[in-house]
Amino acid sequence: MSVVTSGRYTFPSYNLVFFIFLQLGLHSVEGVWPLPQSITSSPERYPLNPQAFYFTYGSQSAAQEGCSVLDEAFKRYFSLIFPDYSSGYGFLRFSVDKPFTVQVSVGRDDCDSYPDEDSSEQYTLSVSAGQASLKAETVWGALRGLETFSQLVYQEDFGSYYVNKTEIKDFPRFQFRGILLDTSRHYLPVQAILKTLDAMAFSKFNVFHWHIVDDPSFPYQSRTFPDLSAKGAFHPMTHIYTQSDVGRVISFARMRGIRVLPEFDSPGHTQSWGKGQSDLLTPCYSGSSPSGTFGPVNPILPSTYKFMATLFKEVSSVFPDSYIHLGGDEVNFSCWKSNPDVRAFMLKMGFGADFTKLEAYYMENIVNITVALNRTSIVWQDVFDYHERHTSLSVVEVWREGCYLCEVRRVVKAGLRVILASPWYLDQPGPTHNWARYYTVWPLAFKGTEEQKKLVIGGEVCMWGEYVDATNLTPRLWPRASAAAERLWSDEKQTSDVDKAFPRLQDFRCELLRRGIQAEPLFVGHCKHEYQGV
Amino acid sequence: MSVVTSGRYTFPSYNLVFFIFLQLGLHSVEGVWPLPQSITSSPERYPLNPQAFYFTYGSQSAAQEGCSVLDEAFKRYFSLIFPDYSSGRFYNQWSFVDKPFTVQVSVGRDDCDSYPDEDSSEQYTLSVSAGQASLKAETVWGALRGDYSICKIYLKSTDFPRFQFRGILLDTSRHYLPVQAILKTLDAMAFSKFNVFHWHIVDDPSFPYQSRTFPDLSAKGAFHPMTHIYTQSDVGRVISFARMRGIRVLPEFDSPGHTQSWGKGQSDLLTPCYSGSSPSGTFGPVNPILPSTYKFMATLFKEVSSVFPDSYIHLGGDEVNFSCWKSNPDVRAFMLKMGFGADFTKLEAYYMENIVNITVALNRTSIVWQDVFDYHERIPKDTVLHIWKGLPASYAAELSAITKAGYRVLLAAPWYINHISYGQDWRNYYTVQPLNFSGTEEQKKLVIGGEVCMWGEYVDATNLTPRLWPRASAAAERLWSDEKQTSDVDKAFPRLQDFRCELLRRGIQAEPLFVGHCKHEYQGV
């Protein structure tokens, strides 16, 4: 067993700490995770005193006091920067109580909007004596800059805080950096979702992909079809997401610059839908009579599309994001095959015995519903694979194992946008699926033109729920998801070395603990502040 | 994806719960985990009202009020049986169900102030009838085992453990575990009737045990000399908390390998490694050739045996790397002098023999990892060997060989629960057959039990609990229950799902076995 000291602070003596820091500059800015695109820092540093520390709006800023997103972020980041202060610890007063001001300026007053696919997240941050200047086009960029600033601040054993002179220009490599949570295989209490959103912001993730329903349960409480959760949830009262729960999640996410992308996966993965909506699923046959079991959504009935149109109309009014995820994965054809009405429909439509054509027909109808609602649809790669005409598709999520970059290449060659999930199935645990595996993913390492590569809009960490619920979600996600976060945010050339990343990620994991996130260890070692939530 | 509903309680309304219970008998005895040796139940049900529910001592009981272990257990189990009541929720008083219900506990021996030990009986009988339950046990430790089962409702049960030693190892060296995390684990251990906490307290990465006699060991060898140590009062708190739950605390001070952290606070203890003819500046295992080593060890183990009351001490002895010893000219000279030739296993054996003798002099039984048996010709007969290596075929062979030599043995190899994989690996822990090796009846009696190991390379307080529970509970049933009655994994699955929901209800962050839900999901986020 080899020994690795992972502690961020390893000084045996308290007395000399100041001098050692000053001389060695141990707290380098490389502590920021994910790594900014461009960063220069100096050993020159400035003390921060929580009693003389302020966030303000720059005089030229389009957003001013009253901007909900930034007003709340200022409060939040104050507590993150000075955790002892807000937890009520007594603070020593140093003579160094020169004020320090972080001045935030944004180019647009988008305080009341939602982050969207085109939202700029770039920012510049300049830290100098007595002040820091944070400039961004949008409030979402300002949020990313505040996160970075909070990670630049460090505390010494005496309890005092410092920040080094630093210049940062930063922007994300990919526009879409998501985490999927599965609330159907296990119900996740709203609090667990909010906690995840909090931690996502610390790693600059910007999309919460809410795989909200699936075969095992339908926890979304629909306004138009209340029976779906009343009969399809694990429990109709305690294991559902009410409209106000959903609203709370969307609002909490917005405050952190995170989009909420809802997925209503069909025609497969819909067993729970059938409990509250009769005639929606295909009756399976055993020989010439119905077996009593049901398969995927029934694609041959007009009532199906009427139901779906109504449901998605509701969904698009509840979820403000311009994307809707339509699923479309893993459709099992055996039930369709068994059903004589479906077979008759196949003949009538000229599909022969090719059930992928029936699936494509179904998905095209569903995609058209969302187009009419002015939404961009995302589908799992299966739909692309089975679909001859790609004109109606827009974004394809690649999830299958194997040569996933081959699939990415096929999709971009067809002119469609891609989200990559295959290499980031974090529900897989264990040493074979450690952070380094998720770090050493090269999403653009395929042959293609610059234009084609631009079609890769991002990637996503998937936390499927077969074996995951609120008891183990957080340690399974963090800090491994942060490895993917750096791949999706940072410059690949600057972040290709696993060994260089390791101590930075260890530091970042300690910071997550400090912020109350139950992030598991990477290896033997310790953090100054261990997890105390036991 | 198949759908499994794991919720134990599926009633939408509180008001009718008792009646539904009475009528449907949904709470069958199969909810008890680990399964009792013998149990008879009937669909007849008795209502329990927290405002008229009492634990009392039987008039013939050797222990009476004032017995610390049982007095505390009564309070603890009241809250476990009526979680809503103690959490301050309003309880309806039903006029028709407020007949009192009394659990009368009788024990044959007043061992309230002692510690559970290797010979402590844990058997109990429990019979439930209208208005009362009678729990009888030889010892208070047996009474504790019975208490848990009272939460379920059935008629009569006679129960005792299959194996006397049912342990969990926590590693507090590779990561420091806050005392609170250890106490939480002890609580959960009692729910699965584990009875030994094997405290792998020090190892290469850190030395968190604050020694009275050698304070520098933690001052210099812990991750942090103030925040990442176990003080004497921390250790005392752990031992006392464990005792209240009938759990022994078995300390391990592993040597001569796995001791890098010891060297930081105790100079000349570790072997200086050589590069060619000069010291390289690095250190290897404990230096076995110096008299000062054995003097130090004797003093340390004297302290350990005064701090830890258990009659066992774990001496480690695993994974000794010989390369440093080989490089050191003084060690080589000693080998020649002792006639060991070039066989460094003999040097290791020499070292271990000295250490075992130290603990024998302290009147302690030593446990050592199997390496010591593998390398050793002479070990005192009452030493316990701890098997940690290999697949079923190889540990079965080791079981056979060690018991044939007449030693007692403890099996850990199949329960390295720090290893995780995708899917339901609890099944592997459940289907272990500890006595499936060739040997006589006498040999099989030498298998004193088993142990779940949670090594700490990738585990600390953030992920300890979900990694341990409910997977460790699978091993617990293997070690407590009759193997024939518990050989069917599929029959065990719904019971273990129920038990996992019960753990959540009790505030234990136990991870799910598969798709599904519990009535009370984990709320500690």
pLDDT tens digits for B174-232?
999 999 999 999 999 999 999 999 999 999 999 999 999 999 999 999 999 999 999 99
Q: What's the pLDDT band for A30 if we cut at 50, 70, 90? A: low
Cβ atoms of B156 and B126 closer than 8 Å: yes
Distance between CA atoms of B154 and A67, rounded to whole angstroms?
62
Sole residue written with tokens 């040569």 = A403
What 8-state DSSP symbol labels residue A389? -
What 8-state DSSP symbol labels residue B35? P
Element (H, E) at A413: helix A404-413
Distance between CA atoms of B207 and B216, rounded to whole angstroms?
10
pLDDT tens digits for A192-224?
999 999 999 999 999 999 999 999 999 999 999
Q: What are phi and psi of A216, to 5 degrees?
A: -70, -35
Residue A11 has pLDDT above 90, yes or no: no
Where is pLDDT greater, at B5 or B336? Answer: B336
Closest approach of B518 to chain A, Cα-based (Å): 9
Mean pLDDT on A62-70: 97
Enumerate residues 169 to 228 of chain B having a beta carbon within 8 A of any beta carbon in chain A: 174-176, 178, 180-181, 184, 203-206, 220, 223-225, 227-228
- pLDDT value at residue B85: 77
**Spatial CA neighbour of B416 closest among B464, B467, B471, B453:** B453
Half-sphere exposure of A72 (CA within 13 A, CB side): 13
- pLDDT value at residue B81: 87
Highest mean pLDDT among A338-352, A383-397, A424-438: A338-352
Which of B3, B461, B519 lies closest to A271 in CB terms? B3
Q: Which residues of A touch B511 (CB under 8 A)?
A: 467-469, 471-472
Q: Are strands B101-107 and A289-297 parallel, antiparallel or unpaired?
A: unpaired
Q: Which residues pair with A297 in a beta bridge?
A: A281
Which tokens is B117 given? 């030990």
Distance between CA atoms of A157 and A83, rounded to whole angstroms?
14
Mean pLDDT on B399-410: 96
Residue A85 has pLDDT above 50, yes or no: yes
In chain A, helix, strand, coil percent, each to 5? 40, 20, 45
Sole residue written with tokens 């003949």 = A347
Q: Which residues of B touch A469 (CB under 8 A)?
A: 511-512, 521-522
Alpha-carbon distances of A82 from A29, B43, B471, rounded to whole Å: 18, 59, 39
Q: Which of A456-470, B83-97, B278-292 has the lowest mean pLDDT?
A: B83-97
Distance between CA atoms of A165 and A40, rounded to whole angstroms?
9
Whole-angstrom Cα Rg for chain B: 25
Which tokens is A514 given? 């400090």
Distance between CA atoms of A189 and A156, rounded to whole angstroms?
36
Mean pLDDT on A448-473: 98
Mutate to test the interface with A, among B6, B179, B200, B224 (most CBs of A within 10 A): B224
In our burial notation (b when 16+ CB lie closer than 10 A, e otherwise), range B409-430 reads: bbbbbbbbbbebeeebbbbbbb
Give the predicted TM-score (pTM) of the model.
Answer: 0.91
pLDDT tens digits for A231-256?
999 999 999 999 999 999 999 999 99
Residue B10 has pLDDT above 80, yes or no: no
Mean pLDDT on A281-295: 97
**Spatial CA neighbour of B265 closest among B178, B206, B201:** B206
Q: Considering chain B, what is the average pLDDT of its residues?
A: 90
Mean pLDDT on B258-287: 97
Which tokens is B107 given? 């024990």
Distance between CA atoms of A102 and A105, rounded to whole angstroms?
10
Around Cβ A96, how many Cβ atoms within 10 Å?
12
Q: Which residues pair with B410 in a beta bridge?
A: B386, B449
Q: What's the pLDDT band for A418 if we cut at 50, 70, 90? A: very high
- pLDDT value at residue A387: 78
Cβ atoms of B173 and B207 closer than 8 Å: yes
Query: How many CB pairs (< 8 A) connect A and B?
Result: 165
List all residues 6 or more positions away from A454 whose beta carbon is below 8 Å from its beta carbon. none
Enumerate residues 100 to 119 of chain B having a beta carbon within 8 A of any beta carbon in chain A: none
Cβ atoms of B204 and B223 closer than 8 Å: no
> Catalytic: which of B44, B72, B319, B442?
B319
Closest approach of B303 to chain A, Cα-based (Å): 26
Q: Which residues of B touch A471 (CB under 8 A)?
A: 465-466, 504, 509-512, 522
Which of A235, A269, A524 lies closest to B457 in CB terms? A524
Q: Which residues of B touch A523 (CB under 8 A)?
A: 457-458
CB contact under 8 A, A430 and B419: yes
pLDDT tens digits for B462-479?
999 999 999 999 999 999
Burial of B73 (0-12, 13-18, 19+ CB in 10 A): buried
Amino acid at B520: H
A12 in reach of chain B (CB within 8 A): yes
Q: Which residues of A touch B258 (CB under 8 A)?
A: 1
Residue B15 has pLDDT above 70, yes or no: no
Measured between CA atoms, the residue of chain A closest to residue B203 is: A1
Residue B90 has pLDDT above 70, yes or no: no
In our burial notation (b when 16+ CB lie closer than 10 A, e otherwise), range A328-339 reads: bbebebebbbbb
- pLDDT value at residue B343: 94
Omega prior to B272 cis, within 30 of 0: no
Cβ atoms of A455 and A418 closer than 8 Å: yes
List all residues 6 or more positions away from A39 whose beta carbon is below 8 Å from its beta carbon. A29, A32, A166, A167, A168, A170
The strand ranges marked E within A38-146 are 38-48, 53-57, 100-106, 123-128, 131-136
- pLDDT value at residue B287: 98
CB contact under 8 A, A7 and B514: no
Q: Are strands B312-316 and B248-255 parallel, antiparallel or unpaired?
A: parallel
Mean pLDDT on B17-21: 33
List all residues 6 or more positions away from A97 whose beta carbon is below 8 Å from its beta carbon. A49, A51, A52
pLDDT tens digits for A340-386?
999 999 999 999 999 999 999 999 999 999 999 999 999 999 999 98
List all residues 6 or more positions away from B124 whose beta carbon is below 8 Å from its beta carbon. B135, B136, B137, B142, B143, B145, B146, B158, B159, B160
Residues, chain B? 525
Element (H, E) at A179: strand A176-182
- pLDDT value at residue A3: 31
Residue A97 has pLDDT above 70, yes or no: no
Distance between CA atoms of A182 and A468, rounded to whole angstroms?
9
- pLDDT value at residue B93: 52
Distance between CA atoms of A258 and A198, rounded to whole angstroms?
10
Enumerate residues 388 to 447 of chain B having a beta carbon within 8 A of any beta carbon in chain A: 419-423
Q: Which of A130-134, B97-101, B360-364 has the lowest mean pLDDT?
A: B97-101
Q: Which residues of A touch B522 (CB under 8 A)?
A: 189, 469-471
Q: Give the CA diameter of chain B.
A: 89
Mutate to test the interface with B, among A190, A239, A433, A471 (most CBs of B within 10 A): A471
Closest approach of A307 to chain B, Cα-based (Å): 24
Distance between CA atoms of B459 and B1, rounded to whole angstroms?
30
Distance between CA atoms of B147 and B149, rounded to whole angstroms?
5
Q: Which residues of A touch B521 (CB under 8 A)?
A: 187, 189, 238-239, 469-470
Mutate to test the interface with B, among A188, A234, A427 (most CBs of B within 10 A): A234
The strand ranges marked E within A268-341 are 281-286, 289-297, 323-325
Mutate to test the interface with B, among A275, A482, A514, A534 (most CBs of B within 10 A): A534
pLDDT tens digits for A155-190?
988 888 999 999 999 999 999 999 999 999 999 999
A13 in reach of chain B (CB within 8 A): no
B34 in reach of chain A (CB within 8 A): no
Which of B176, B456, B466 lies closest to A472 in CB terms? B466
Mean pLDDT on B30-47: 81
In chain B, helix, strand, coil percent, each to 5? 40, 20, 45
Where is pLDDT greater, at A19 or B241? Answer: B241
Q: What's the pLDDT band for B148 if we cut at 50, 70, 90? A: low
Residue B31 has pLDDT above 80, yes or no: no
- pLDDT value at residue B48: 82
> Catalytic: which of A330, A407, A466, A492?
A330
pLDDT tens digits for A493-525?
999 999 999 999 999 999 999 999 999 999 999
pLDDT tens digits for B425-458?
999 999 999 999 999 999 999 999 999 999 999 9
Residue B20 has pLDDT above 50, yes or no: no
Residues, chain A? 534
Q: What's the pLDDT band for B19 if we cut at 50, 70, 90? A: very low
The answer to whether residue A397 is catalytic is no
Amino acid at A135: K
CB contact under 8 A, A429 and B419: no
Transcribe B349-362 into DSSP letters: HHHHHHHHHHHHHT
- pLDDT value at residue A22: 37
Mean pLDDT on B487-503: 96
Mean pLDDT on A277-297: 97
Q: Which residues of B touch A470 (CB under 8 A)?
A: 521-523, 525
